[in-house]
Each structure stands twice: as structure tokens, then as C-alpha cells.
A and B are shown apart, each in its own frame.
Chain A
Amino acid sequence: MTLGAMLFSLLLLEGSEVVTSTNIIAALYVFALAAFLGYQVISRVPPLLHTPLMSATNAISGISLVGSIVIAGGTGPHHSKVAMALGFIAVVCSTTNVVGGFVITDRMLRMFKRKK
């Protein structure tokens, strides 16, 4: 099944580390495969669920929270106060995005019932 094969190849590429100019190619592979996989998965979502789909993908893309956390924590041997402050605001914004998005998606999905 194509979906399974894509997922598998995507997972093989997982775990490759920091993107430098040399392994940017690996990152591009991940991007391209995720794009195909996304296309496969999302084109199967019925119009009935398009609003939950948008709020769910929006919540999921709030994963940039992971990047914000690392910056807000002043990671690394040297770290700047300015970057930490920006990171803090980013943590607030993306947490709002993630929590708000998931809470409301759940709320919406609970409303969809087949019969009264």
C-alpha cells in the first residue's frame, strides 16, 4: 500500500540530525515525502470535516513550540537575553495555538453525531 510505503521511508529518514548544508538533502527528502503523504491523507477528509481539519492541522503545526522552548530556555554555551525573551513570547503564542486548537477540535468533533 502506497501510504504504508511512504510512512516507512519517512521513518527511515527520521533521526537524521542538525540540518547543515550537507544534510539539507535529507531534510528535503523528509519534506517531499511528508508532502506526498499529506496529500494522500488529507484528500480523503470529507468536506463535512473541513473545519475540524483546519483547526487540527493548525494545532499540529503549533509544533514550532518545540523550537520556541529550546530558545526560551537559553540553550547552548552562550545565549542572549534578547533571544530568550523572543523565545518566551514564541512559547506563549505557540502553546495558545496548540492548546486552543486541540481543545476546539475535540469540542467540534464531539458534536458530529450520526443519529440523534
Chain B
Amino acid sequence: MNWQTYFIEFSYLLASILFILGLKGLSHPETAKRGMHMAEFGMLMAIIGTLMHFEIVSYTWIIVGLLAGGLLGSAMGVWVPMTAMPQRTALSHAFGAFAAALVGIAEYYSYTHGFKPLADLGHVKMGAMGFEIMLGSLTTTGSLIAFGKLQGIVPGKPLVYRGQNIFNMTLLAVTIGLFIYLIFVPTAVIPFYVMLGLAFVFGVLLVLPIGSADMPVVMSLLNSYAGLASAATGFVLGNNVLIIAGTLDGFSGFILSILMCRAMNRSITNVLFGAFGSAATAVVGEGAQGEMREVSIDDIAVQLAYANKVVFVPGYGLATAQAQHAVRELASVLENRGVTVKYGIHPVAGRMPGHMNVLLAEANVPYSQLYELEQINPEFPTTDVAMVIGANDVVNPDARDNPSSPIAGMPILEVDHAKSVVVLKRGQGKGFSGLENPLFFKPVTGMLYGDAKDTLTKLVSAVQHV
């Protein structure tokens, strides 16, 4: 080995260590920033190391590419609002996965068109390459559809048709069949491109039938796939830092998907093939009798002003109404009056894991006030006012009380144990899943209709005038 090779290998080794230490830093908000700086430094080292590669013929396109991507990435990083974080992450998954797929395609092309010795394209290498390309392509289109759904370009409702699961399964089976065939006959160019095309199509069909409420699981899964595609690239190129970084990402996404599924009491297969939110209409009516009680801003302002403890429960509605700053304002006003304010965060509130925490942190809510499900539930009986802002299923008591409910067994925030519940809701319609929510009909519950941001702002001035 010459000195460049040593340098490259050393930079990759350093990057691997720094990536791991960086993720370790994320175990606490205090150490997280330092951890990320380590990971960033590691990435920089890996890039510099790679540029030392003595066989590189021309730097022109590398530099143009780095500059273009750097500009695009920083623009995205700086200007994307926190409420659009799920969309941005989905788009980023698409970019990463597409890059992995392209590397695989370029390698395959080089082998089959005589630029690299065909004899080197063994069964093992073809296996890794096929895996990389298959995962990379389906994650690319899948993430783009997820992006479209989150951005509102593609309808958020699940798109279902008869025989959908059978059709999708067949498509997947054919794709995997071609992949296996390619492992044995790596030179079969036409099956290769057919497999590539089918994988792109499968990504679209995989995400289309999934409702927006299930996005946290889908985001985590796509995160995992994008990582595994990178790891497979590492196998193809014989590069350990790619294997390590890709695997870390792959497992992180996998763990998150399991956590999200557990928080909904559903299996991954059920999320992927259940088309939740379309068939659920069958169970409407049961347990949802009575009138919803509409309350006035002034009444609630008085209740809040004289409360000892208030718990805010945010949901996706908080993000759509951009109401995070308004909540924070209301909380400040209440705290100045000596009220204890806490926030109860359900793991699947919002459209991606941790979505609500980021939004509230943006509005300067200290993270010591953000409580997880298990921590906040025992506190509801001593809570004077629980205020639900744009959340629905995560506070639906049917999940706990009604075994025949489609969401039965899902852990919920038990706001109905609070002395008084206020629900901020856009209108009288049902939530995203189309399920009736008995919470809204309970005697302790008062409804405040309208835009959440607007309502909260009015509440702030009303409390100030109490």
C-alpha cells in the first residue's frame, strides 16, 4: 500500500469512530450538539480522504457536484421551517437512496460494458449490488410519495383498490425473483433493468395505500431502508465506513419503526398492508352519543387562570396551524400567574418520531417541560385543565375502553382523567382516521372550534384580562 491508501483508510477509520461517538452524544440534549460536530468532522475527513484517491482522473465533476449539492443542502437546511421537518426528511431519504441506487447502476454498467473486468462481477458482489439497487430505488420513489403526501401534493388518504395487496405482493415477488436470477446470472442485462424499473414502481405502490396518520412508521421504515442501501453500497465497493454508517442508519430506523408501531399497538405488516383510515368507517356510531359541548373563550380563560396545573397535549393540528408559538405565549402568561404548565407528548403525535418536541423547542419551550406518555399519565388526575390541541386518536378513550375499536390497545394520553378537558379543533368533523372520539362527548370536555393559533392568541389576551 502507498501512503495515499493509508491516509484514505485512516480517514475512514476516524470517520467511523466519530459517527458512533456522535450518535452516542444524542443520548442527552446537553451532549447532542458536540456529538453532531464530531460526526460532521468525521464526514469531512472521509470526504477529504476520498479526494486523495490516487486513481481519480478528473476532479471537475466532483467539485461541481459537491458545490451544487452543498448549496442545495444548505438552502434546504437553513430555510425549511420546523413545521415542514417531516417533508424535508422524506426528501432527504429520497436523495440518499437515489445516490446509493445510482452508484450501484454505475458499477453494474461499468462491469457489463467492458470498463471493468466482467470476471470480477461474482455472485456475492452481484447479490450486494442487486440488494443495493432494489432497496435504493424503492426507497427513492417511496420517499418521494411520502414527501408528496406530507406536502399535500398527493392525497393523504390511503389510495386503495381491490386486489391491491395481491398485486403489490406479486410485483415484489417478481422483483425479488429477478434479483435472485441475477445473482446466478450476473450478465443478464435486460432482467437487471426490468428489476430496476419494477423496484421504482414498487416504492410508489408501497406508500400510496398508507394514510398520513401512519407516517411516523413509514418515515422510520424509509429511514431504515435508505441506511441499508448505503450499507449494501459498502459491500459492493468494499468500503467499511459505508457499511458502518449505513448499518447505524438502518438500525436506527428499524428501532424507531418498532417504537412507533408499539405506540399504536399495531404490527408493521398491519401498517403497510392495512390501509388504515379508509376501512375504519365501519365502526362509527358506537359509544359516540350525545352532544358536544361548545364553550366560550372567556370561560376557559377563567378556568385556566385559576388552575393549579395545566397540561397541553399537542397533535398534528398544532403543526398545521403553526400554533407552537401561540401555545408558548399562553403558557408564559399562565406561568406568570403561578400555574404549573406541562406538555404531554404521545410518541406518534405528528408525522414523524419526535415531531412535537422539535416544534415546541422551536417556540422556546424548555425540554424539562416536555413529558412522555408514561410520565404524564399518572399526573392527569391532579390536572385542572388538560388542553388538547389538534390531537385526536392519541387521546381517544376508545383505545382503552372499547375492545372492538380499530385502535383498541393503543396506549393513549388519558386526558379524560383530568378535572376538565378543553379540545381545540378546526371543526366538528372526525379526525384523520375517520374514527369517532367519545372524549368529545364526555361531560368534562368542552370544545373550542376554530383555527388553533387564532383561538390560543385570543385565550392569551382573555387570560391577561381575567
Whether A64 lies near B99 (C-beta < 8 A) is yes
A113 to B78, CA, bound (A): 20
Size of interface on A: residues with Cβ below 8 Å to B: 95
Given A21-B123, A60-B248, A60-B249, does the pair A54, B353 have CB atoms closer than 8 Å?
yes
Which residue of A is nearest B96, CB measured? A97
Given A14-B13, A103-B77, does the pair A89, B102 have CB atoms closer than 8 Å?
yes
Whether B36 lies near A106 (C-beta < 8 A) is yes
Size of interface on B: residues with Cβ below 8 Å to A: 122
Stretch binding the partner chain, chosen from B58-66, B205-213, B397-405: B58-66
A34 to B19, CA, bound (A): 11
Given A41-B23, A100-B88, does the pair A70, B50 have CB atoms closer than 8 Å?
yes
Whether B78 lies near A103 (C-beta < 8 A) is yes
Choose among A21, A95, A112 the residue that contacts B124 (Cβ–Cβ < 8 A): A21
Whether B36 lies near A109 (C-beta < 8 A) is yes
A42 to B409, CA, bound (A): 26
Chain B residue contacts of A95, Cβ below 8 A: 65-66, 68-70, 72-73
CB distance from A25 to the nearest CB of B (A): 10
* Binary B-proximity of A20-61 (CB < 8 A = 1, otherwise 0): 110110010011001101110111111111111111111111
Whether A58 lies near B93 (C-beta < 8 A) is yes
Whether A43 lies near B106 (C-beta < 8 A) is no
Is B445 located at the chain interface by the 8 A CB criterion?
no
- Residue in B27, B62, B233 whose Cβ sees the most chain A Cβ within 10 Å: B62
Whether B74 lies near A100 (C-beta < 8 A) is yes
A57 to B252, CA, bound (A): 7
Is B298 located at the chain interface by the 8 A CB criterion?
no
A42 to B370, CA, bound (A): 20
A109 to B33, CA, bound (A): 6
Whether B238 lies near A27 (C-beta < 8 A) is yes
Chain B residue contacts of A54, Cβ below 8 A: 89, 219-220, 223, 252-253, 256, 352-354
Whether B354 lies near A47 (C-beta < 8 A) is yes
A113 to B219, CA, bound (A): 26
Whether B33 lies near A110 (C-beta < 8 A) is yes
CB distance from B29 to the nearest CB of A (A): 4
Whether A87 lies near B74 (C-beta < 8 A) is no
Whether A51 lies near B85 (C-beta < 8 A) is yes
* Binary B-proximity of A87-113 (CB < 8 A = 1, otherwise 0): 111111111111111111111111111
Is B385 located at the chain interface by the 8 A CB criterion?
no
Choose among A51, A73, A92, A113 the residue that contacts B367 (Cβ–Cβ < 8 A): A113
Choose among A53, A58, A103 the residue that contacts B226 (Cβ–Cβ < 8 A): A58
Q: Which B residues between 154 and 209 are near A, CB-CB below 8 angstroms?
A: none
Whether B92 lies near A64 (C-beta < 8 A) is no
Whether B32 lies near A49 (C-beta < 8 A) is yes
Given A34-B244, A53-B252, A78-B115, does the pair A58, B102 have CB atoms closer than 8 Å?
no
Is B444 located at the chain interface by the 8 A CB criterion?
no
Is A1 located at the chain interface by the 8 A CB criterion?
no
Whether A72 lies near B61 (C-beta < 8 A) is yes
Chain B residue contacts of A44, Cβ below 8 A: 24, 27
Is A82 located at the chain interface by the 8 A CB criterion?
yes
Given A47-B347, A86-B109, does the pair A100, B72 have CB atoms closer than 8 Å?
yes
Is B330 located at the chain interface by the 8 A CB criterion?
no
Whether A60 lies near B39 (C-beta < 8 A) is yes
Whether B103 lies near A67 (C-beta < 8 A) is yes
Whether B56 lies near A73 (C-beta < 8 A) is yes
CB distance from A12 to the nearest CB of B (A): 11
CB distance from B253 to the nearest CB of A (A): 7
Given A60-B43, A102-B43, A104-B88, does the pair A41, B354 have CB atoms closer than 8 Å?
no
Q: Can you add 12 more A-B contacts, CB < 8 Å, to A42-B248, A65-B47, A69-B51?
A: A17-B238, A19-B236, A42-B255, A60-B43, A64-B103, A67-B236, A87-B106, A91-B65, A98-B43, A108-B85, A111-B82, A112-B32
18 contacts between A and B (CB under 8 A): A21-B122, A34-B251, A38-B247, A42-B251, A42-B252, A50-B353, A55-B89, A58-B93, A60-B245, A62-B43, A63-B230, A87-B61, A94-B96, A95-B68, A95-B70, A99-B73, A103-B76, A106-B33
Q: Which residues of B approach A to under 8 Å, CB–CB? A: 9, 12-13, 15-17, 19-20, 22-24, 26-30, 32-33, 36, 39-40, 43, 46-47, 50-51, 53, 55-59, 61-62, 64-66, 68-70, 72-74, 76-78, 80, 82, 85, 88-89, 92-93, 95-96, 98-100, 102-103, 105-107, 109-110, 113-116, 122-125, 128, 219-220, 223, 226-227, 229-231, 233-253, 255-256, 259, 345, 347, 352-355, 357-358, 361-362, 364, 366-368, 370, 372
